[in-house]
Amino acid sequence: MVESQLRQRKLYIIGNGFDLHHNLNTRYSSFGLFLKKHHYDIYELFLEYYGFGDINEEDKESLNDPLWCQFEEALSQMDKEQLLENYSEYVPNYSSDDFRDRDRYDLPIYIESVVNKVTLEMRQVFEEFIQNLSYPKISNEDLVHLDYQSLFLSFNYTDTLERYYNVDRKNIEYIHNKSGEENNLILGHGIDPKEFFEQEETPPEDPEEYERWVEWKSDTYDYSIERGKDEIREYFQKSFKPTQDIINQKKDFFSKLNQINKVYILGHSLSDVDLPYFQEIIKNLKGHQEWLVSYYKESEKEDRILPLLSLGIDKANIKLKKLTELEIN
């Protein structure tokens, strides 16, 4: 019992680089190729409305497309003006003899269809992508040295820890849920959806100007266009990763961190969208901690240290190592 409590003082934070180390094909560019092959209608929408590059399995340069590599962050970059323009033919002509009241709903219906494909359907396909991953056999030499009885916070959707290391499920918190389990997988951008809303226009104070303003607003108002804009606003809500809500739901896990004295960050890029989780981790830690952070290439070292420094961690407490160099101590 005493030994178990001591081991629980280590926290391993697991990111996608950990899966890649085990030769799992979990890059977002691989998801893009999966979309291209199996769900081209969704893939085409990402090319059309986000500026994603067309990726090709034989073209290494295309696999490094910056938007595919930063897929979650790129979800905040939908070109809403282009989406409205592409479906502008469905804005009804109210003065036409052929106009029917149902015509005013065509534009929002088409936009809603696009929104659902790149949010709800995309997440279902992402689950399909994870479910279809191959888990290759790996040698003992390729296994990372882990203390299996520690706590694990995984940002991945796979069961790499359980499959290769026999880590007990109860010691793992899958912060964005795990493929094959009951809850839907969580992925999305980290920008507050309210930032994408148009600011309401302030009416003039002068009574005569206010009257003209009201008349102008009435003349320019189009129900179909406004409902289309509502659907686009709904997109930014549906594609948002609600980190604070997730933190609140996982508060029991974060409350366990007050005994942690060593934190390992393995294969995590410390991207902005996930920094609120690290803030919560630091808030729940007590006393002095050593932070050991993995890197893959020499050029990544600074990118691993800077986010931690911005969170107030002393540089003297941060050590960098490659996954292959980890030791249990």
pLDDT in tens, 270-309: 988 899 999 999 999 987 789 999 998 888 889 999 999 9
Mean pLDDT along residues 108-127: 97
- Residue 263's region, left for phi above 0, alpha for psi from -120 to 50, else beta, is beta
Residue that has been written with the tokens 């296994």 in this structure: 143
- Residue 225 is predicted with a pLDDT of 87
Residue 128 vs residues 28, 35, 70, 252: alpha-carbon distances, Å: 14, 10, 20, 30
Q: Mean pLDDT over residues 257-265, rounded?
A: 92
For position 12, what pLDDT does the model report?
Answer: 96
Q: Which of 144-153, 239-248, 254-263, 286-295 has the lowest mean pLDDT?
A: 286-295
Chain centre to alpha carbon of residue 108: 26
d(CA 289, CA 152): 16
pLDDT at residue 218 above 70? no
**What's the one-letter identity of residue 277?**
Y
In tens, the pLDDT along 28-46 reads: 999 999 999 999 999 999 9
145-155 pLDDT per residue, tens: 999 889 999 99
pLDDT score of 6? 45
C-alpha distances out from residue 276 to 47, 127, 158, 187, 280, Å: 29, 24, 22, 14, 6
Residues in the chain: 329
What are 47-104's pLDDT values in tens digits? 999 999 999 988 888 888 989 999 999 999 999 999 999 999 988 877 787 878 888 8
Query: Which strands form 10-14's sheet, in the order they lie side by side?
Result: 172-174, 151-154, 10-14, 262-266, 290-294, 318-321
pLDDT band at 329 (very low <50, low <70, confident <90, very high): low
123 close to 187: Cβ distance less than 8 angstroms: yes
Spatial distance between the Cα atoms of 110 and 55, rounded to a whole number of angstroms: 27
User: Does the structure show a pLDDT above 50 at 2?
Assistant: no
pLDDT-above-90 percentage for the chain? 67
When pLDDT is cut at 50, 70 and 90, the band that residue 19 belongs to is: very high
Q: Give the model's pLDDT for residue 103.
A: 80
Q: pLDDT category, 211, cuts 50, 70, 90? A: low
Q: What is the pTM of this model?
A: 0.87
**CB distance 277 to 257 below 8 Å:** no
Buried b (16+ CB within 10 A) or exposed e, 7-30: ebebbbbbbbbbbebbebbbbbbb
**pLDDT tens across 149-192, in order?**
899 999 999 999 999 999 999 999 999 999 999 889 999 999 99
Write down the mean pLDDT value for the chain: 89
Largest CA distance in the chain: 83
Count of Cβ atoms closer than 10 Å to residue 90 Cβ: 17
Query: Per mean pLDDT, which range of 27-31, 172-176, 240-244, 257-261 is the poorest?
Result: 257-261
